[in-house]
């Protein structure tokens, strides 16, 4: 009986092909919007987790400003404390004796232009000043060359490590990059290393950056309100809590805070930053779900209208079936199956299209192919639900037709 009803449903779809295709496309658009956007969001979440995992699960940052990634206008502003000075940062590094790696850094320029011979970058290069430990704690990896030496840091040497985008822009036709000299403003720097491609890392520098020795940045890019950031990498994630506690106690001492006074600095972990960003993406998820549901509501109304027209056009057919022994439940089930089949055909097309659209986003942000099984199953369940909701009233109307009156319809 079920197979027979599916055959009848497919024949009914063929006989009203244009109308059925339009209805299926409406359903497909709703499912595509839902599955496509949610697949893209899953890819973005994976990208966020991947980017901040690069910083290490055992790394935390001490800075003077609270981290808030805000979506919309909730009226809240991040707390900002007095700058962490160079003297305070150096003192912390010298006195912190817990078994951890400590690095100091500062953003000394955000719109710099780097030149090499006749080539130059756009004025959008971030200039980071860091010590000999900064590459490791910042999650950067060298593609070629070497890191800064302690001598270069203490001597304020004019050496630089270039991000991959800077290398592509300046050395288009040149394979040799190391030991070449580039200009940042009036200053000359020898290239001692290049970084592996990192991608857009949610404000963490990406590839449009250059890194110079901390003391050199302080000497040539210094400003009155220059602020420093301290990164602490413990030997293992299990010791993070102890390392954090030690760091808070020492930083309070360095900042000369009395007992009872609140901290004038923030401790930020890489995983907490990822969770903040992922939490804000939930707003997009909700918006995408609402858009998809509204589209599916329109599809439900359209499908119900088409099924009612179908009942009217097939009144004589219903009368013949009833006269041959088909009862009301059989007729009702037949029209319900027809509505569900139309929805599933449209839904399957929408799911395939949604996965393709979502994975295009995944490709561009460097994440592998994603098959969102949860959204696929959810989309199919929604299609069946839409078919049942849209087809129920027309099916009941068809089942209640009087066979004699139905046969006399034409």
Express each pLDDT in 105-126 by its tens digit. Answer: 999 988 899 999 888 998 989 9
- The answer as to whether 149 is a domain residue is yes
Same domain, 32 and 135: no
Phi, psi of 361 (to 5 degrees): -60, -45
Same domain, 113 and 209: yes
341 backbone φψ class: left, alpha, beta (φ>0; ψ -120 to 50):
alpha
Same domain, 164 and 202: yes
- H or E segment at 404? helix 403-407
Same domain, 113 and 235: yes
Output the six-digit token pair for 311: 């009942």
Picking from 250, 252, 244, 253, the residue whose alpha carbon sits closest to that of residue 272 is: 244
- H or E segment at 129? strand 125-130
Is the CA virtual torsion 69, 72, 76, 77 positive or negative? positive
Rounded Cα distance between 310 and 284, Å, is 39
- The answer as to whether 104 is a domain residue is yes
Same domain, 311 and 178: no
Express each pLDDT in 374-398 by its tens digit. Answer: 878 887 888 888 888 888 888 888 7
Same domain, 306 and 197: no
Express each pLDDT in 114-166 by its tens digit. Answer: 999 888 998 989 999 999 999 988 888 899 999 999 999 999 999 999 999 99
* Pairing verdict, β 187-195 and 159-162: parallel
Rounded Cα distance between 55 and 32, Å, is 35
Same domain, 107 and 173: yes
Rounded Cα distance between 403 and 253, Å, is 92
Please list the helix, strand and coil fractions of the chain in percent, rounded to the nearest 5, in that order.
Answer: 55, 15, 30
Residue entry with tokens 């055909």: 345
- The answer as to whether 69 is a domain residue is no
Same domain, 214 and 97: yes
Residue entry with tokens 């593609």: 143
- The answer as to whether 62 is a domain residue is no
Express each pLDDT in 297-317 by its tens digit. Answer: 877 787 788 778 777 777 777
- The answer as to whether 74 is a domain residue is no
Burial label, 370 (beta-carbon count in 10 A; 0-12, 13-18, 19+): middle
* Residues of the domain holding 101: 82-264
Provide the number of structural domains found in the chain: 2
CA separation, residue 367 to residues 42, 51, 300 (Å): 10, 11, 35
Same domain, 317 and 388: yes
pLDDT for the residue numbered 204: 46
Same domain, 299 and 358: yes
pLDDT for the residue numbered 60: 86
Rounded Cα distance between 14 and 164, Å, is 56
159 neighbors 190 (Cβ within 8 angstroms): yes
């Amino acid at each position: 009986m079920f197979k027979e009803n599916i055959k009848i449903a497919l024949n009914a779809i063929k006989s009203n092909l244009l109308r059925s295709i339009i209805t299926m496309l409406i359903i497909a658009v709703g499912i595509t919007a839902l599955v496509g956007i949610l697949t893209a969001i899953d890819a973005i979440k994976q990208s966020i987790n991947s980017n901040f995992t690069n910083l290490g699960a055992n790394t935390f940052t001490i800075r003077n400003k609270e981290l808030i990634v805000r979506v919309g206008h909730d009226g809240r502003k991040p707390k900002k404390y007095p700058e962490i000075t160079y003297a305070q940062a150096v003192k912390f590094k010298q006195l912190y004796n817990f078994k951890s790696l400590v690095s100091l850094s500062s953003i000394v320029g955000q719109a710099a232009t780097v030149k090499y011979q006749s080539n130059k970058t756009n004025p959008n290069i971030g200039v980071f000043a860091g010590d000999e430990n900064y590459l490791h704690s910042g999650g950067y990896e060298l593609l070629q060359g070497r890191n800064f030496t302690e001598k270069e840091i203490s001597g304020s040497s004019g050496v630089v490590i270039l991000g991959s985008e800077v290398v592509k822009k300046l050395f288009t036709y040149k394979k040799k990059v190391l030991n070449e000299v580039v200009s940042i403003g009036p200053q000359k720097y020898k290239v001692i290393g290049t970084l592996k491609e990192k991608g857009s890392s949610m404000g963490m520098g990406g590839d449009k950056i250059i890194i110079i020795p901390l003391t050199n940045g302080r000497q040539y890019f210094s400003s009155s309100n220059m602020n420093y950031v301290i990164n602490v990498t413990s030997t293992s994630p299990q010791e993070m809590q102890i390392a954090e506690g030690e760091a808070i106690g020492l930083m309070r001492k360095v900042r000369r805070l009395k007992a009872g006074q609140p901290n004038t600095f923030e401790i930020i972990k890489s995983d907490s930053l990822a969770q903040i960003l992922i939490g804000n993406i939930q707003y997009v998820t909700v918006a995408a779900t609402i858009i998809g549901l509204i589209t599916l509501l329109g599809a439900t109304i359209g499908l119900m209208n088409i099924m009612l027209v179908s009942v009217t056009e097939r009144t004589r057919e219903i009368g013949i079936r009833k006269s041959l022994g088909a009862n009301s439940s059989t007729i009702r089930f037949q029209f319900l199956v027809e509505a569900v089949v139309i929805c599933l055909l449209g839904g399957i097309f929408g799911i395939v299209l949604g996965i393709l659209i979502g994975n295009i986003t995944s490709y561009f942000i460097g994440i592998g192919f994603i098959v969102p099984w949860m959204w696929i199953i959810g989309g199919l369940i929604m299609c069946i639900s839409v078919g049942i909701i849209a087809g129920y009233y027309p099916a009941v109307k068809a089942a209640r037709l009087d066979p004699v009156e139905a046969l006399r319809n034409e």
